[in-house]
């Protein structure tokens, strides 16, 4: 059994019934057990500000081989639901940040094929008025609402674009991303709206545990294939220019799930950005990056980059290195790149990978606060870390000694309190979930 604590925030626990699933994935309510939450390795009672009604677009998923843990409604003790009664998790849509993990007994088999796929596992239970999830809304979700994607006319839009530019390898890749992977930024290229992604990089200078395009053997299978070609400047401009000129709230983003690190192609991107900015001043040119190559980053800023979103699990070097596993750069280089960007007037965001029990620890908050001040950061984009919690915490225990089963890790203040503390400490800092058009 994992360590326990009395709660994650608020005043009084709220009674939410535990959801369980049998081995066939059939979900039911366990009337004698209240739902328990989890922050890091600590089991907690659910507090009112931890939960909200399940949002539209959320999905339920049962966790095979992971016995659910609830709270006995009579004794108040944390107890396992029983052999074969698996935990149930919610997978949140964009615009919502989870506050607690689901509570369960870790599997004991230790098999690699037992690692969960890359999703942001979130506590879910049955309240008096229906399903509730451990989450808080942190952005509007219209542009990223699944109802706006995978429409009936999408295949025809893709076919028309390919007919017009049949040899453009980026369009061919994006057609696969749009129709097979369901990638929203790929689909937006064909819808001609909002943020559209353009992949350019075949390689990466990091080996992140949660990479969705290429995984080392010790983790779960990647859900997407990485591109296998390096496009030309003309191919990039052929796709990006019409989007910048015609799309509503137009954003072109380099650094997608189906590619590596775009700064490994900084010379190519600098040339493409210069060509685009010679042709149009409309729209936002953005890069999603680890920002490890400060020299390459500077070249893009000089070429006319408008905004940058930098992926970050932690502002503490030991945690950063354990997750991102950088090759040839350090967290100091990342901070240096953010400073360079501000020198050129680039709008900077950190894509903060949120994990309850880690992100909201006092040490993490202090380190992040120092990074915000040092880099003059404009925005924090909160992103639920998509990874098997046990796998992730096992790596951190081995590499850093934090999140230990003994409960000797950092004290967490709760995700809701973490967000409020950021707002209070940095009133000019934008907090949300998505990149925004910044204009020129």
Note the pLDDT tens digit of each residue in 232-249: 999 999 999 999 999 999
Give dist(CA 103, CA 4) in Å, integer. Answer: 11
Give dist(CA 125, CA 146) in Å, integer. Answer: 23
Domains defined for the chain, CATH in brackets: 17-137 (no CATH), 146-432 (3.20.20.70)
Q: Say if CB 244 and CB 193 are below 8 A apart.
A: no
Q: Give the model confidence (pLDDT) of 346-359 as tens digits.
A: 999 999 999 999 99
- Detail the DSSP E strand segments found in 233-388: 248-254, 284-289, 307-312, 347-354, 379-384
Lowest mean pLDDT among 7-16, 32-41, 105-114, 222-231: 7-16
Q: Is 9 helix (H, G, I), strand (E, B) or coil?
A: coil
Q: Give the model confidence (pLDDT) of 285-320 as tens digits.
A: 999 999 999 999 999 999 999 999 999 999 999 999
Model confidence at 439, pLDDT cuts 50, 70, 90, reads low
**Which residues are CB-contacts of 11 (< 8 A; sequence separation ≥ 6)?**
47, 48
17, 154, 158, 184 from 194: Cα distances, Å: 40, 16, 17, 10
Can you give the pLDDT at residue 400?
80
Mean pLDDT of 161-182: 94
Q: Say if CB 7 and CB 39 are below 8 A apart.
A: no
Can you give the pLDDT at residue 259?
84
Can you give the pLDDT at residue 404?
47
Does residue 1 carry a pLDDT above 50? no
* 43 bridge partner residues: 4, 38
Angle of the 331-343 helix axis to the 317-324 helix axis, nearest 10: 100
Can you give the pLDDT at residue 407?
38
Model confidence at 75, pLDDT cuts 50, 70, 90, reads very high
Across all residues in the chain, what is the average pLDDT?
A: 90
Mean pLDDT of 376-392: 95
Closest by Cα among 92, 87, 29, 28 to 59: 92
User: Is 0.85 surpassed by the pTM of this model?
Assistant: yes
Does residue 112 carry a pLDDT above 50? no
């Amino acid at each position: 059994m994992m360590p326990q604590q009395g709660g994650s925030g608020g005043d009084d626990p709220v009674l939410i019934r535990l959801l369980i699933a049998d081995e066939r994935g059939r979900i039911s309510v366990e009337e004698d057990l209240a739902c328990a939450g989890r922050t890091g390795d600590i089991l907690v009672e659910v507090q009112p500000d931890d939960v909200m009604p399940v949002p539209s677009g959320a999905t339920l998923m049962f966790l095979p081989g992971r016995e659910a843990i609830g709270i006995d409604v009579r004794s108040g003790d944390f107890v396992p639901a029983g052999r074969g009664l698996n935990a149930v998790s919610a997978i949140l849509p964009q615009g919502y940040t989870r506050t607690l993990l689901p509570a369960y007994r870790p599997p004991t088999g230790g098999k690699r094929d037992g690692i969960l796929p890359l999703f942001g596992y979130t506590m879910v239970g049955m309240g008096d008025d229906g399903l509730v999830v451990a989450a808080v809304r942190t952005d509007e979700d219209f542009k990223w609402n699944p109802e706006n994607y995978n429409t009936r006319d999408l295949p025809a839009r893709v076919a028309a674009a390919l007919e017009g530019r049949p040899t453009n390898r980026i369009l061919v890749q994006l057609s696969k991303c749009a129709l097979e992977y369901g990638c929203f930024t790929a689909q937006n290229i064909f819808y001609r709206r909002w943020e559209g992604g353009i992949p350019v990089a075949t390689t990466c200078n990091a080996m992140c545990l949660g990479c969705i395009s290429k995984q080392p053997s010790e983790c779960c299978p990647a859900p997407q294939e990485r591109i296998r070609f390096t496009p030309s400047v003309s191919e990039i401009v052929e796709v990006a220019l019409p989007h910048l000129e015609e799309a509503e709230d137009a954003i072109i983003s380099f650094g997608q799930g189906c590619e590596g690190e775009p700064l490994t192609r900084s010379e190519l991107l600098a040339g493409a950005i210069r060509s685009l900015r010679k042709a149009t001043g409309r729209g936002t040119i953005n890069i999603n990056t680890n920002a490890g190559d400060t020299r390459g980053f500077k070249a893009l800023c000089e070429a006319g980059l408008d905004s940058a979103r930098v992926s970050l699990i932690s502002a503490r070097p030991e945690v950063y290195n354990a997750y991102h596993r950088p090759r040839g750069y350090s967290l100091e280089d990342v901070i240096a790149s953010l400073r360079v960007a501000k020198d050129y007037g680039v709008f900077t965001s950190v894509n903060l990978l949120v994990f309850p029990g880690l992100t909201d620890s006092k040490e993490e908050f202090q380190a992040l606060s120092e990074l915000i001040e040092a880099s003059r950061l404009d925005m924090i984009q909160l992103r639920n870390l998509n990874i098997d919690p046990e796998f992730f915490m096992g790596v951190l225990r081995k590499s850093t000694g934090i999140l230990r089963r003994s409960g000797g890790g950092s004290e967490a203040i709760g995700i809701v309190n973490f967000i409020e503390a950021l707002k209070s400490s940095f009133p000019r800092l934008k907090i949300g979930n998505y990149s925004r058009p910044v204009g020129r």
